Structure 1
Amino acid sequence: MNERTTDGHPPGYRVWALPGIPEVTPGDDLAKLIAAAATADGVPQLLDGDVLVVTSKIVSKAEGRVVEAVDREAAIDQETVRVVARRGTLRIVQNRQGLVMAAAGVDASNTPAGTVLLLPEDPDASARALRAGLRSALGVDVGIVISDTFGRPWRGGVTDVAIGAAGVRVLDDLRGGTDAYGNPLSATVVATADELTAAGDLVKGKATGLPVAVVRGLPHVVEEAGEDDGAHALVRSPEDDMFRLGTSEAVREAVTLRRTVRAFRDDPVDPGAVRRAVAAALTAPAPHHTAPWRFVLLESAESRTRLLDAMRDAWIADLRGDGTSEEAIARRVRRGEVLRNAPYLAVPCMVTDGAHDYPDARRSAAEREMFVVAHGAGIQNFLVALAGERLGSAWISSTMFCRDVVRDVLELPDAWEPMGAVAIGRPAQAPTERAPRAAGDFVVVR
């Protein structure tokens, strides 16, 4: 069924480029320039409900965002808050405006040699000022979208998207409604402002000297003054951004995020996340093409309590055998409760059934060390992968001191050597800042 508007016509809109806008220079009143171009024979050609799509370059020029820069890379550095991905000289970064884009939006085209053009300092504020200026000059209430060119993940080519907006419904949240078949819409939020900018770019072009487009026929996307959220609402929050980093950058951040966490929330741990971390552990190097890792996952509270009670009893017996006072034993047992407070435990075990036999102790010891090192590499992969899942962890050595007890409680083969236990859960608080370490202090070059 073809829906119709209130006047009986099928839905539709028009979009055209606005001619007559001169070269913009710093200090120009952009609203007046656009108003003049949108007036013919003293009559404004804009109507209430129109949307103007304005290229960010002319906004930047009017606001004096043209800066001298012999080296464009230095300007990109100044505008960068966070590097998202880097491939050779190409950088995808988050800039000062919170936008993730190539080269922080620093543009060396359409600007005099030896200068670069920065994005508007606050594109939403620029859009609000432009909307107010046009209302004052022409007496019309229009929506404003400030556009810039973006590449996109998963898609070839570039398109224009909204980086600033005023008086426009930037997002159309359809969640809670139904589709044409009555199915509930649970995830559909339309980026209306981006669709408007893409439509405008089809008539503005990239090198035609037509920096402003008019979209007419969609008055429902124009908001009352003061009601819109601006284009900043289009920026996905870090918590919801599943693609916040490039591949190598994500690996480095996960390594950095790997911290020993000793206090956990009560939230349940996703077993699938732990199994994905186990899969990462299995990619570590190992001697003789072996796989010396085994992981015992304690997913029930009963299994965790049974193991930890037995380990505690064994530890207390060892301490008493050493002549430790009861007060000191109680204190040390309290300090060792990290594993008990975690909602999930994993016990990594080493197997050496692929080791070579040697007649002398020296080579036999080296053979075992190879397996221990490989097992440590697997555990590091495991911990880093957990950090990538936003799970905290603490690798505690305690099972190594009572291996027979652990094997007995967990019913493990004699050849499995428990190599500590890993407490896993959502961190109860943000970790403290880690003191920086200069790589050069740990390097010797020969």
Structure 2
Amino acid sequence: MWALPGLPEVEPGADLAALIAAAGPDLADGDVLLVTSKIVSKAEGRILPATSRDEAVDAETVRVVARRGPLRIVENRQGLVMAAAGVDASNTAPGTVLLLPEDPDASARALREGLYRLLGVRVGVLVTDTVGRPWRNGLTDIAIGAAGVRVLDDLRGGTDSHGNELSVTVVAGADELAAAGDLVKGKASGLPVAVVRGLPHLLGEGSARELQRTAGEDMFRLGTSEAVREAVTRRRTVRTFLPDPVDPGAVRRAVAAALTAPAPHHTTPWRFVLLESAASRTELLDAMREAWIADLRGDGRSEEAVAKRVRRGDLLRAAPYLIVPCLVTDGAHHYGDARRDTAEREMFVVSAGAGVQNLLVALAGEGLGSAWVSSTMFCREVVRKVLGLPGDWDPMGTVAVGRPAAPAPDRPPRDPAEFIEVR
């Protein structure tokens, strides 16, 4: 592995393949070129005048992943997660910034084809850029564009030296090459291209996008504060569920989050009844249905109207898991004054609502959909009897839980200013 000497300063519109061919006329079949993205960007004219680097970062940002002070880790237009969207204010003239190549894979393909045309050699090309990494100090290079290189080396199904089957081992060979190449290129030595010889088995078809985890695969998609906001935003009322069983551990983790809600007088006014068996759910919903029908008929509703309203309970029947949150006011103060006693109970009700909201948000964070339905509040005695609850437990609705059967529709935008009064 060595760096190619003699490359001139790259200007916009330069034929980068020709410059590399002139600096490395002895390139051979099977070589892999590691090309710093900065010279690719310069050749492609990805230089912008910018009075503020932040403006360029904003323009290249698709999603903010994490923020701490002025530092932003974002997903950029190329799908890469990195600091400042990969916008670089170094190695470029003052008052300008460098953007990453528009399509790094296409840039790598163009270089590979150009070198074949000029030198008649079939090489692999990786376009590389410098990034930081979660949990690790220091910077390293990764592959952001690839052509003629197998970026991943899938060893699953093989065995190690002790005969153990490899079940999860997929090596990021392109990133390993990119990091190794930086050892000979350096960050400030003016050597933006390295050559690796002797690893022809890594040549093949590949795209650097294979190295990027999809949203569903990424367990660490968001920073801490962003994760909280995302979970709150993701919390939607889900009305149709898949029949898949719900992980009881996920529900218990959500209950643990619910228990962090504020409460009056240092009390713990929340209880959660988890209906994990189909028999318990059916028994409760059947009893509630009968109570609901009796109430509706007592209100003089027609049988058609009764049937229509009762059908609304199908949401709870379709859910594979139900939670009945209950309010317990055993720590409430009793003043003997109706006004103050009413306010005292309202404090506990507000606390119960905060606990339910924490529960719903935490369920969303676990990838579970939910719907809070007020039904149990209208037949508390029935619920207490069926579930065998103490008389001072007040059921505060029912939470249906499950995997959403379909994505929730977009929520209509709400302008916070319409809900705020400033004094």
TM-score by length of 2: 0.99
- Greater shift after overlay, 136-145 or 196-205? 136-145
Q: Which residue of 1 aligns with 2:165?
A: 184
Q: Which residue of 2 aligns with 1:18?
A: 4
Q: Which residue of 2 aligns with 1:317?
A: 294
Which runs of 5 or more structure 2 residues have no equivalent in the other structure?
A: none
Matches within 5 A, 1:217-228: 217-223=198-204, 228=205
Q: Which residue of 1 aligns with 2:271?
A: 294
Counterpart code for 1:34: I
Matches within 5 A, 1:56-205: 56-205=37-186
Matches within 5 A, 1:46-445: 46-223=27-204, 228-445=205-422
Q: What SS does structure 2 have at the residue aligned with 1:337?
A: helix
Alignment partners' CA distance in 2, 1:391 and 1:156: 34
Alignment partners' CA distance in 2, 1:163 and 1:407: 60
Instruction: Give per-residue Cα distances to partners, 1:354-390, cap 9 Å, x unaligned.
Output: 1112121111111111100011001000000111111
Alignment partners' CA distance in 2, 1:154 and 1:107: 23
Q: What SS does structure 2 have at the residue aligned with 1:239?
A: coil
Instruction: Give per-residue Cα distances to partners, 1:257-293, cap 9 Å, x unaligned.
Output: 1111111111111111111100000011101111111
Instruction: Give per-residue Cα distances to partners, 1:130-177, cap 9 Å, x unaligned.
Output: 011111111111111110001111111110000001111100011111
Identical positions, percent:
76
CA-CA distance at 1:229 after TM superposition = 2.6
Alignment partners' CA distance in 2, 1:344 and 1:247: 28
1:36 to 22, 26, 45: 22
Counterpart code for 2:368: L
Counterpart code for 1:341: A
Alignment partners' CA distance in 2, 1:92 and 1:262: 35
Alignment partners' CA distance in 1, 2:400 and 2:121: 63
Alignment partners' CA distance in 2, 1:230 and 1:402: 60
Alignment partners' CA distance in 2, 1:370 and 1:188: 54
Alignment partners' CA distance in 2, 1:306 and 1:183: 50
Which runs of 5 or more structure 1 residues have no equivalent in the other structure?
A: 1-14, 40-44
CA-CA distance at 1:306 after TM superposition = 0.3
Instruction: Give per-residue Cα distances to partners, 1:47-83, cap 9 Å, x unaligned.
Output: 2111110000000000010111111111111111111
Instruction: Give per-residue Cα distances to partners, 1:209-258, cap 9 Å, x unaligned.
Output: 000011111111012xxxx1311110101110011111111110110111
Instruction: Give per-residue Cα distances to partners, 1:324-374, cap 9 Å, x unaligned.
Output: 111110111112211111010000001111111212111111111110001
Alignment partners' CA distance in 1, 2:336 and 2:273: 33
Measured on the aligned residues, the alpha-carbon RMSD in Å equals: 0.8
Counterpart code for 1:58: I
Alignment partners' CA distance in 2, 1:430 and 1:350: 32
Moved runs in structure 1, 4+ residues, more than 6 A?
A: none
Counterpart code for 1:24: V
Alignment partners' CA distance in 2, 1:305 and 1:236: 41
Counterpart code for 2:284: L
Q: How many residues align?
A: 423
Alignment partners' CA distance in 2, 1:118 and 1:249: 25
Counterpart code for 1:349: C
Q: What SS does structure 2 have at the residue aligned with 1:179?
A: coil
Alignment partners' CA distance in 2, 1:36 and 1:181: 48
CA-CA distance at 1:184 after TM superposition = 1.1
Counterpart code for 1:32: A
